[in-house]
């Protein structure tokens, strides 16, 4: 990146590297000097910085773009979001990776997934981890989310009330002790480690979801099936995950994907007529499947699968939390297709 930004090793008063460079790049984007494509080679590093600071991507970008904050104001906001301090171990580990001084800690990967589950994963590109979170923790998390957006599950009229932190079916809630506890579920972490076949994974800080039943006056607010990755072949391994906080039937706005598409996508792309946008196709015709599961179940999927929520045709909301682990050197394709 041939821009006059600070070196990644430079620190600010928080003591974490790359923060000043990240802030400078965001200011350049805000002022029209830089575009997102110019940042692609450092995207994963930027994202891991936010992970180390317990920040959500959307909340950070919104704060910087709308507020145009100075670096001092940005750091004050980071501390405020985190209750006054950043874990020193987060800063130490992130700085060590920047300096390439520390080797990732080696420990044995616990084989929590059975041969049957691994075979299902290879064939279908997704897994359901049953009972990843206790039911009582799910219920408590649901209350946190509902209180945050002003929804009362016993009063359907409150499910559709406009709230500044509710965007479609997404809820921009990132920091809460229960959300963090759910993220650190041993079952979730061990499944990620086994699928990645490595233990040097970073836990993200992601948002939640609230998908109420569709009505005549309140149509579905979610996204159609999509990818969150470039379709430049070959698509590298990348995982994503969603925690069901409520029992969810297939017709209840269930998370939906196209099973096994990670094994077919290259041939499918080649079969499209010249000029066809692969992101504008009818993925439901490819065998999209809504995934019914119970509160506390966790779904992991391969990023090559088209996926998304679905219209809720039942009688109660679908409430979820997004959780992911990834290595700092996750491969990101520079060309977006």
pLDDT surpassing 90 at residue 105: no
Compute the average pLDDT of residues 309-336.
90
Going by C-alpha positions, the residue among 307, 134, 99 that lies closest to residue 222 is 307
End-to-end Cα spacing for the chain: 21
Question: What is the DSSP code string of 14-67?
Answer: T--BTHHHHHHHHHHHHTTSS-GGGGGGGHHHHHHHHHHTT--HHHHHHHHHHH
In whole angstroms, what is the distance from residue 199 CA to residue 328 CA? Answer: 11
Q: Is 274 helix (H, G, I), strand (E, B) or coil?
A: coil
Cβ atoms of 328 and 198 closer than 8 Å = no
pLDDT tens track for 194-234:
999 999 899 999 999 999 999 999 999 988 899 999 999 99
Cβ atoms of 200 and 329 closer than 8 Å = no
In whole angstroms, what is the distance from residue 212 CA to residue 161 CA? Answer: 11
User: What pLDDT score was predicted for residue 39?
Assistant: 65
Q: How confident is the model at residue 125 (pLDDT cuts 50, 70, 90)?
A: very high
Name the average pLDDT for the chain.
Answer: 91
Cβ atoms of 329 and 44 closer than 8 Å = yes
Q: Give the pTM.
A: 0.89
In whole angstroms, what is the distance from residue 89 CA to residue 302 CA? Answer: 30
pLDDT surpassing 80 at residue 97: yes
**208-238 burial string, b = 16+ CB within 10 Å, else e?**
bbbbbbeeeeeebbbeebebebbbeeebebb
User: What pLDDT score was predicted for residue 104?
Assistant: 57
pLDDT tens track for 30-69:
888 877 666 667 888 898 999 999 999 889 988 998 877 8
User: What pLDDT score was predicted for residue 122?
Assistant: 97
**Angle, helix 57-67 to helix 19-30, in steps of 10 degrees:** 60
In whole angstroms, what is the distance from residue 258 CA to residue 226 CA? Answer: 10
Distance of CA 57 to the CA centre of its chain: 9
pLDDT surpassing 60 at residue 1: no
Going by C-alpha positions, the residue among 175, 167, 246 that lies closest to residue 204 is 175
Compute the average pLDDT of residues 299-314.
96
Judged by average pLDDT, the poorest of 95-104, 189-198, 241-250 is: 95-104
User: What pLDDT score was predicted for residue 119?
Assistant: 97
User: What pLDDT score was predicted for residue 37?
Assistant: 61
């Amino acid at each position: 990146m041939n821009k006059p930004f600070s070196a990644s090793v430079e620190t600010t008063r928080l003591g974490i590297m790359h923060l000043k460079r990240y802030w400078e790049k965001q200011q350049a984007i805000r002022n029209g000097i830089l575009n997102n494509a110019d940042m692609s080679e450092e995207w994963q590093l930027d994202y891991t910085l936010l992970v180390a600071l317990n920040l959500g991507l959307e909340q950070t970008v919104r704060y910087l773009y709308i507020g145009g904050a100075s670096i001092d104001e940005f750091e004050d906001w980071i501390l405020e979001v985190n209750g006054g301090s950043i874990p020193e171990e987060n800063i130490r580990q992130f700085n060590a990776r920047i300096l390439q001084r520390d080797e990732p800690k080696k420990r044995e990967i616990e084989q929590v997934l059975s041969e049957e589950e691994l075979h299902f994963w290879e064939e279908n590109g997704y897994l359901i981890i049953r009972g990843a979170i206790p039911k009582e923790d799910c219920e408590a998390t649901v209350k946190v989310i509902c209180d945050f957006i002003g929804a009362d599950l016993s009063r359907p009229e409150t499910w559709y009330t406009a709230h500044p932190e509710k965007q479609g079916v997404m809820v921009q809630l990132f920091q809460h002790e229960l959300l963090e506890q759910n993220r650190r579920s041993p079952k979730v972490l061990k499944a990620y480690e086994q699928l990645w076949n490595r233990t040097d994974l970073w836990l993200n800080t992601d948002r939640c979801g609230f998908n109420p039943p569709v009505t005549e006056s309140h149509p579905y607010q979610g996204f159609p099936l999509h990818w969150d990755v470039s379709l430049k072949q070959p698509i590298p391994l990348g995982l994503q995950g969603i925690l069901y906080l409520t029992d969810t039937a297939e017709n209840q706005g269930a998370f939906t994907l196209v099973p096994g598409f990670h094994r077919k996508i290259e041939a499918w792309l080649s079969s499209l007529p010249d000029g066809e946008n692969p992101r504008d196709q009818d993925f439901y015709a490819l065998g999209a499947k809504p995934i019914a599961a119970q509160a506390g179940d966790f779904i992991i999927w391969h990023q090559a699968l088209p996926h998304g929520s679905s219209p809720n045709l039942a009688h109660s909301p679908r409430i979820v939390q997004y959780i992911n682990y990834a290595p700092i050197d996750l491969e990101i394709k520079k060309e977006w297709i």
